[in-house]
Chains A and B, each alone.
Chain A
Amino acid sequence: MWTYNKVLQYPINIKQPDPKLAKVIISQYGGPDGELGASLRYLSQRFAMPDQNSKAILNDIGTEELAHLEMVGSIVRQLTKNASLEELEAAGLAPYYTDHGVDVYPQSAAGVPFDANCLACKGDPVANLQEDLAAEQKARATYEKLIDLSRDNPDVLDPLRFLREREIVHFQRFGEALRGVQDKIATKHNMYLNNCKKNN
């Protein structure tokens, strides 16, 4: 189970609203490579993993992603708080404002609401961990694009750079977990395939 800690993992103090940036950064909240999808992907995959290391790493990274979800939501909130209606309109946020006002809603930069199609639980530990490695790379690439777009705003760049670095650490840990699973498959193949029992 979980308990909440009333702190952000990394500080976010954005002094000036910038709804144009909010409109793109929201993709890491509820977009295809965002933190919500990452968390659900890992926390769902962990149940049927074949060894303790991969269960633990999926559990613990899935938990950290929830902290990142909160960070991205905080960035979006601070970028839109106190923005004028004219600034929201100029940023192309009139449709968003119509449906969600100033709430933080999980959607992509293009306005597509969060969809669990962005995560896979394939029932195969190797396929799942390969999916996770790709997911971390896609999230890193997305943060790099957001860092490009935030080039003039040091208050936004700083937490985005932190989040990008965490993707790299997660990629490293998933790689280690995958190697562990593959080594075990090589020695005890049937134990680690994780399929349903078959009647002979």
Chain B
Amino acid sequence: MLMDDNNCMNNNQSNREEMLHKIKCLKFAITDLALYLDTHPNDEKALCLHNKYCKELRTLTDQYQKMYGPLSIECPCNKWRWLEEPWPWEGGVS
């Protein structure tokens, strides 16, 4: 039973880290594409990738925040969860 609980927690933690890693990758890709599009606004391929990543980011961020709490103050919650997690400079969501 204890083993199962631990496994469950580990799985939960690794799922969380995996989701967060994807969110960070998508955010970085969007930033980098936006810089490129600022000077190449007519590049269809870059625009297409930007659209794809924005959609993926929105879906993934919604999922993550429902499961693990807010990533920004613009996330509605039933109780104020902004104070719960460590800050990124404390080895929290970094």
Q: A interface vs B, CB < 8 Å? A: 1, 3, 46-47, 52-53, 55-56, 59-60
Contact = CB atoms under 8 A, between A and B. Distances in A.
B83 A1 contact: no
Interface string B50-87: 00000000000000000000000100000000111001
B83 A52 contact: yes
A56 B27 contact: no
Interface of B: 27, 73, 82-84, 87-89
Contacts of B89: 47
Given A1-B27, A52-B84, A60-B73, 6 more contacts: A1-B88, A3-B27, A46-B87, A47-B89, A55-B87, A56-B82
A55 B84 CA distance: 12
Contacts of A46: 87
Interface of A is mostly: helix
Contacts of B87: 46, 55, 59
Nearest to A60: B73
A53 B83 contact: yes
12 contacts: A1-B27, A1-B88, A3-B27, A46-B87, A47-B89, A52-B83, A52-B84, A55-B87, A56-B82, A56-B83, A59-B87, A60-B73
B37 to A, nearest CB: 14
Nearest to A55: B87
A60 B83 CA distance: 12
A47 to B, nearest CB: 6
